[in-house]
Amino acid sequence: MSRQTRVRTRKLAGLATLTLTAGVVTVVLGPSAFVVAADPEPTTVVRVEEDWQLVLIEPDNVAESPQFHTIMAPSTRLDYVYLQSTWNYHESPDYMPGGLQLQAWRGDDCVFAEGYLPSQRLSTQGETITWTQALSTDGHFLRFEILNGNSSTWGTFGGSTMRLVGNIQVPNLNGYTPEMSVENSGVTYGTNRVIVLAITGVRYYGSEGLLYEDYTPRVVVAAGAN
């Protein structure tokens, strides 16, 4: 990804009619839109939480580095819908360093973006940033949020104020896989300033609560890795 803003606006004929309102992405799906099929098994996943960690070597405030992005999707198809967080920069509608931005994407189109912590750039040598990003559905609305964030630069962050909600009718999250998040996330700029970016745990929930947990470390970027 370039540090410069590149928002591509390709019309998705027959897929969706988009209506954007403040803080909310409303997507009315057309008849030819891809919908995640309901799982025939009794176990239905309606919420997934990913715990993330980034460990810095030394950020460069002047060079606005490092910058990284993390992705979460309800299925293995990025041409349907996926959610992205950009860290230490905003890229839509214009590039701006610092803070973080939540984005909703359909294929090559960024359909909504909301920025947070706009003036704060990563500035603490050797700091560790931790947060949880969660995706959930009730069959009508898809919700993406940042929770339990902690950083020396940004302090504590996340919760109900860092959330995108869209009328995207995904019946369940059984098509979710953490490998999709790992393969499509990464350090956008300044990899040499990062020790590690990784998912440290994943939790799956059904309508009645926690189904199972997976604390297998999944490394996205590591210093010295080829």
| Alpha carbons 139 and 155: distance in angstroms, whole number | 34
Enumerate the β-bridge partners of residue 136.
47, 143
Cα Rg, the chain, nearest whole Å: 17
Q: Is residue 7 part of a domain?
A: no
Q: Is residue 37 part of a domain?
A: no
- For residue 86, give the nearest of 133, 27, 150 by alpha carbon: 133
**Domain carrying residue 181:** 44-222
Segment 67-125, tens digit of pLDDT? 999 999 999 988 889 999 999 999 988 899 999 999 999 888 888 999 988 678 998 89
Q: Is residue 52 part of a domain?
A: yes
Q: Is residue 70 part of a domain?
A: yes
CA atoms within 13 A on the CB side of 60: 12
The chain-wide mean pLDDT, for the chain, equals 81
Least trusted range by pLDDT, from 52-56, 105-109, 147-151, 203-207: 105-109
CA atoms within 13 A on the CB side of 58: 1
Q: Is residue 14 part of a domain?
A: no
Q: Is residue 17 part of a domain?
A: no
Here the CATH number for the domain that contains residue 161 is 2.60.120
Q: Is residue 8 part of a domain?
A: no
Cβ count near 204 (within 10 Å)? 18
Q: Is residue 24 part of a domain?
A: no
Cβ count near 3 (within 10 Å)? 15
The greatest distance separating any two alpha carbons of the chain, rounded to the nearest whole angstrom, comes to 53
Least trusted range by pLDDT, from 1-5, 47-51, 87-91, 208-212: 1-5
Q: What is the pTM of this model?
A: 0.79
Q: How distant is the alpha carbon of residue 145 from its chain centre?
A: 8
Identity of the residue numbered 187: V
| Alpha carbons 29 and 36: distance in angstroms, whole number | 12
Q: What was the pLDDT predicted at 42?
A: 57
> How many domains does the structure of the chain reveal?
1
